[in-house]
């Protein structure tokens, strides 16, 4: 099996899927192939794509690592930001405080998993409850209007650089580069791969397994927070339930991008390519007026389908290289 | 029966976290005393107690199945969508004029069938349980939309409500008695029957269980199908409690079920947990829910309270268990 590296057939597969999906929608609606629509796809993909970067680290860290609370973090971040802006806090400070809160929420997940030793599914399910509840409490269950805020703040989600969406050029791509460097160019990345592959070996080699995994949850909380902030700026609203299906979609993206669900493999580069595929599918469905419930259903089918196809292939490779 | 148990080398009960049930009982007593006092007696009203028992029963019945699934080391997060889809299918039969007797098997079979789908994906497809059921969670919910369109189903026969919710036997609503009976049966089954013992063996060490001649696939299959069946039954009872099916029926339900099971001391790493714990866990979850309504606290606090209770309860016990590591 490919070790930490990159499965070379994966980008081709994902590119083919992206073209197929796009072609499929273009048959029904040829006007989907316009520049404006590609811009909208990118804008949609950026937010879930950021969350998927963090989710990649969490899942590749092994030990059934998973973060189900990402959507709740995004929603709570939006509400915290909204309340701060309405309390006349200047927007750079409000964004900074929200980022700090997001780090804290990620740290709570990290502590629950590594210090309290609660299974990641249960720990992040519990924090999903908690964060989503807090978002409702802080917002009183209603959306917070942000359209009157500084145009500099709104530019985080609506601005353009060189004709391309601001958040794609100035936020997502740099973040992707940083995560790729972290994963493939630093000691932390290598240590996290080893932890995901064999945590006992990693611990015996002197690695602080708990801290390595914990850092992944903190980073995941941070990416979910940035995604929440960008989403609030894009729509000019803070919604407590903003990230409802984000856990499902981000996990589907990570799996589609070639990160093994048992840890120790995969790359954020694969995650980024898979984000393109999912963004096309999701945008195509909403362009054709499908209810978000159908989008989630289709992504559920993709998630299960990919693993069903992939498991026999992996087993076959393992046999061949034994 | 007792001779056979004493002769057995490993009684599953010995493997349970000590004192979990006692801790839950104390928590429950404190909650009940507090809510009873601050609600000025509203908690002890007949209507509130009946509501509490009915809601507890509807959570408890799938929680029995979820306990077994988690004992085998699995989980099913699709239960709420499954409840919604079974209610939509069964409700459509009611709307088509089917009698209660003809429709009850539809609920049970639909539930068992959806459980079977999960089981096959997890066992044959080798997909980790949380990922497989996260997928079916959204797929089942999509099918609810396809079945219902934008309609609500309101043609639920009133006899359903009368039989299960309104009628009382021994001061308890019928549905609460059924749930208690199921807990006792499941508890005896896990403790004294071969397959019940195999569930614990499997959860403790799947490879060892396999070498001992146990067939893990069969037990897991049975566990997921049983959870589906019980969820189908819970869907029927939900319609007895509030006679209406809408596209959101059952959303959020699975969180209550899982909260009840993990509070009850069943660990996700498999092999430990009891039905008594699940019963007490369910009551704690439902009393918190009830208390938030009675004390006029914003209902949004419900999720926060449950999240904190789960983290505290499991965190404390798992840190203690893992002390030597």
Show pLDDT as tens, one digit a residue, over chain B (325 residues): 344 444 444 444 444 445 778 888 888 888 888 888 888 878 888 888 888 999 999 999 999 999 999 988 889 999 999 999 999 999 888 888 888 888 899 999 999 999 999 999 999 988 889 889 989 999 999 999 888 887 888 777 777 777 777 777 787 888 888 999 999 999 888 888 877 788 787 877 777 778 877 888 888 999 999 999 999 999 999 988 888 888 888 887 888 899 899 888 888 777 778 888 899 999 999 998 888 888 888 888 888 888 888 888 777 766 555 433 3
Instruction: Taking the CA atoms of A279, A282, A286 and A287 in sequence, report the sign of the dihedral they define.
Output: positive
A66: in domain = yes
Is residue A27 predicted with pLDDT exceeding 60?
A: yes
Mean pLDDT to the nearest integer, A121-141: 91
Nearest by CB to residue A261, choosing from B131, B267, B269, is B131
pLDDT recorded at residue A116: 86
pLDDT recorded at residue B8: 45
Mean pLDDT to the nearest integer, A251-271: 87
Q: Are the C-beta atoms of A225 and A77 separated by less than 8 Å? A: yes
Is residue A100 predicted with pLDDT exceeding 60?
A: yes
> Which CATH number does the domain housing residue A264 bear?
1.10.3470.10
Q: A238-254 burial string, b = 16+ CB within 10 Å, else e?
A: bbbbbbbbbbbbbbbbb
Cβ of A127 and B311 within 8 Å? yes
Mean pLDDT to the nearest integer, A276-283: 88
pLDDT in tens, A147-194: 888 888 888 888 888 878 888 888 999 999 999 999 998 989 888 988
Q: What residues in B contact A311, CB-CB < 8 Å?
A: 125-127
Provide the 10 A C-beta neighbour count for residue A151. Answer: 8
pLDDT recorded at residue B15: 45
End-to-end CA distance of chain B: 38
List the single range of A64-78, A246-260, B103-117 with lowest mean pLDDT.
Answer: A246-260
Q: Which residues pair with B192 in a beta bridge?
A: none
The encoded tokens of residue B320 equal 């203690």
Closest CA–CA distance from residue B152 to any residue of chain A (Å) = 17
pLDDT recorded at residue B271: 74
CB burial of residue A153 (10 Å; 0-12, 13-18, 19+) = buried
- Measured between CB atoms, does A217 come within 8 Å of chain B? no
pLDDT recorded at residue A24: 82
Write out the E strands in B118-272.
168-169, 172-173
A28: in domain = no
Residues from B in contact with A at Cβ < 8 Å:
75, 77, 121, 125-128, 130-132, 134-139, 141-143, 145, 247, 255, 258-259, 262, 267-269, 298, 300-308, 310-311, 314-315, 318-319, 322
Helix, strand and coil content of chain A, in percent to the nearest 5, comes to 75, 0, 20
Residue A124: CA atoms inside 13 Å, Cβ hemisphere, count? 29
A29: in domain = no
A320: in domain = no
Q: Helix/strand/coil (H, E, C) string of A182-242? A: HHHHCHHHHHHHHHHHCHHHHHHCCCCHHHHHHHHHHHHHHHHHHHHHHHHHHHCEECCCC
The whole-angstrom separation of Cα B54 and Cα A219 is: 43
Q: In this predicted model, which residue has the larger pLDDT, A58 or A162?
A: A58
pLDDT recorded at residue B10: 47
The whole-angstrom separation of Cα A202 and Cα A293 is: 41
Q: In this predicted model, which residue has the larger pLDDT, B100 or A8?
A: B100
Confidence of residue A68 (pLDDT cuts 50, 70, 90): very high
Picking from B149, B176, B148, the residue whose alpha carbon sits closest to that of residue B164 is B176
The angle that helices B174-192 and B194-204 make with each other, rounded to 10 degrees, is 70
Tell me whether strands A144-145 and A237-238 are parallel, antiparallel or unpaired.
antiparallel
Mean pLDDT to the nearest integer, A243-258: 88
Mean pLDDT to the nearest integer, A277-296: 85
> What average pLDDT does chain A have?
87
Question: Within its chain, how far is the Cα of B32 from the centroid?
Answer: 22
Nearest by CB to residue A297, choosing from B141, B268, B306, is B141
Q: Which domain holds residue A66?
A: 40-312
Residue A291: CA atoms inside 13 Å, Cβ hemisphere, count? 13
Tell me whether strands B168-169 and B172-173 are parallel, antiparallel or unpaired.
antiparallel
**What are the structural domains of chain B?**
17-317 (1.10.3470)
Closest CA–CA distance from residue A6 to any residue of chain B (Å) = 22
pTM value? 0.85
Closest CA–CA distance from residue B169 to any residue of chain A (Å) = 36
Q: What percent of chain A has pLDDT over 90?
A: 37
A290: in domain = yes
Domains: count for chain A: 1
A318: in domain = no
Closest CA–CA distance from residue A280 to any residue of chain B (Å) = 19
Collapsed DSSP state (helix, strand, coil) of residue B325: coil
pLDDT recorded at residue B318: 63
A236: in domain = yes
Nearest by CB to residue A133, choosing from B128, B303, B322, is B303
Question: What value of ipTM does the predicted structure carry?
Answer: 0.84
């Amino acid at each position: 099996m490919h070790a930490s590296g990159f499965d070379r057939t994966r980008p081709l597969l994902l590119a083919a899927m992206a073209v197929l999906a796009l072609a499929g929608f273009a048959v029904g609606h040829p006007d989907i192939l316009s520049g404006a629509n590609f811009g909208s796809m990118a804008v949609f993909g950026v937010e879930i794509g950021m969350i998927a970067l963090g989710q990649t680290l969490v899942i590749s860290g092994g030990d059934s690592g998973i973060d189900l609370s990402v959507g709740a973090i995004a929603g709570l971040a939006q509400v915290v930001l909204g309340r701060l802006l309405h309390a006349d806090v200047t927007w750079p400070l409000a964004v900074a405080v929200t980022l700090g809160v997001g780090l804290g929420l990620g740290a709570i997940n990290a502590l629950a998993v590594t210090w309290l030793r609660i299974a990641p599914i249960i720990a992040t399910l519990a924090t999903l409850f908690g964060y989503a509840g807090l978002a409702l409490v802080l917002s009183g269950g209603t959306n917070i209007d942000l359209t009157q805020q500084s145009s500099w703040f709104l530019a985080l989600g609506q601005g353009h650089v060189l004709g391309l969406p601001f958040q794609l050029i100035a936020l997502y791509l740099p973040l992707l580069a940083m995560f790729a460097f972290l994963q493939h160019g630093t000691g932390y990345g290598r240590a996290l791969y080893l932890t995901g592959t064999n945590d006992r070996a990693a611990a015996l080699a002197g690695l602080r397994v708990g801290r390595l995994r914990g850092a992944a949850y903190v980073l995941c909380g941070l990416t979910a927070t940035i995604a929440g902030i960008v989403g609030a700026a894009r729509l000019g609203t803070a919604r407590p339930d903003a990230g409802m299906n984000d856990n499902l979609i981000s996990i589907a993206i990570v799996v589609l991008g070639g990160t093994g669900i048992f840890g120790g493999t995969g790359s954020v580069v694969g995650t980024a390519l898979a984000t393109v595929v999912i963004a096309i599918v999701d945008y195509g469905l909403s362009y054709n007026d499908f209810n978000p419930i159908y989008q989630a259903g289709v992504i559920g089918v993709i998630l299960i389908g990919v693993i069903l196809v992939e498991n026999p292939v992996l087993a076959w490779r393992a046999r061949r290289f034994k | 029966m007792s001779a056979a148990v004493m002769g057995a080398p490993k009684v599953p009960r010995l493997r349970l976290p000590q004192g979990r049930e006692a801790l839950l009982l104390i928590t429950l007593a404190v909650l009940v005393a507090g809510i009873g006092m601050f609600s000025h007696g509203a908690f002890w009203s007949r209507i509130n107690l009946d509501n509490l028992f009915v809601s507890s029963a509807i959570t408890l019945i799938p929680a029995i199945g979820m306990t077994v699934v988690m004992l085998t080391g699995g989980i099913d997060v699709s239960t709420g969508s499954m409840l919604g889809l079974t209610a939509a299918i069964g409700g459509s039969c009611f709307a088509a004029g089917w009698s209660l007797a003809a429709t009850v098997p539809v609920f049970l079979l639909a539930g068992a069938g959806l459980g079977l789908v999960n089981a096959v994906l997890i066992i044959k497809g080798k997909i980790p349980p949380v990922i497989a059921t996260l997928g079916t969670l959204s797929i089942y919910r999509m099918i609810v939309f396809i079945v219902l369109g934008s309609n609500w189903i309101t043609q639920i026969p009133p006899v359903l409500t009368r039989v299960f919710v309104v009628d009382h036997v021994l001061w308890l609503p019928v549905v609460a008695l059924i749930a208690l009976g199921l807990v006792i049966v499941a508890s005896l089954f896990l403790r004294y029957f071969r397959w019940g013992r195999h569930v614990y063996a499997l959860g403790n060490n799947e490879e060892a269980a396999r070498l001992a001649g146990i067939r893990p696939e069969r037990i897991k299959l049975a566990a997921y199908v049983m959870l589906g069946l019980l969820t189908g039954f819970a869907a029927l009872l939900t319609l007895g409690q509030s006679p209406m099916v809408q596209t959101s029926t059952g959303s959020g339900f699975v969180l209550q079920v899982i909260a009840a099971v993990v509070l009850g001391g069943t660990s996700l790493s498999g092999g430990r947990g009891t039905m008594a714990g699940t019963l007490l866990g369910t009551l704690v979850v439902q009393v918190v829910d009830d208390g938030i309504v009675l004390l006029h606290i914003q209902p949004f606090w419900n999720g926060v309270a449950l999240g904190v209770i789960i983290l505290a309860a499991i965190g404390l016990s798992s840190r203690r268990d893992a002390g030597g590591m």
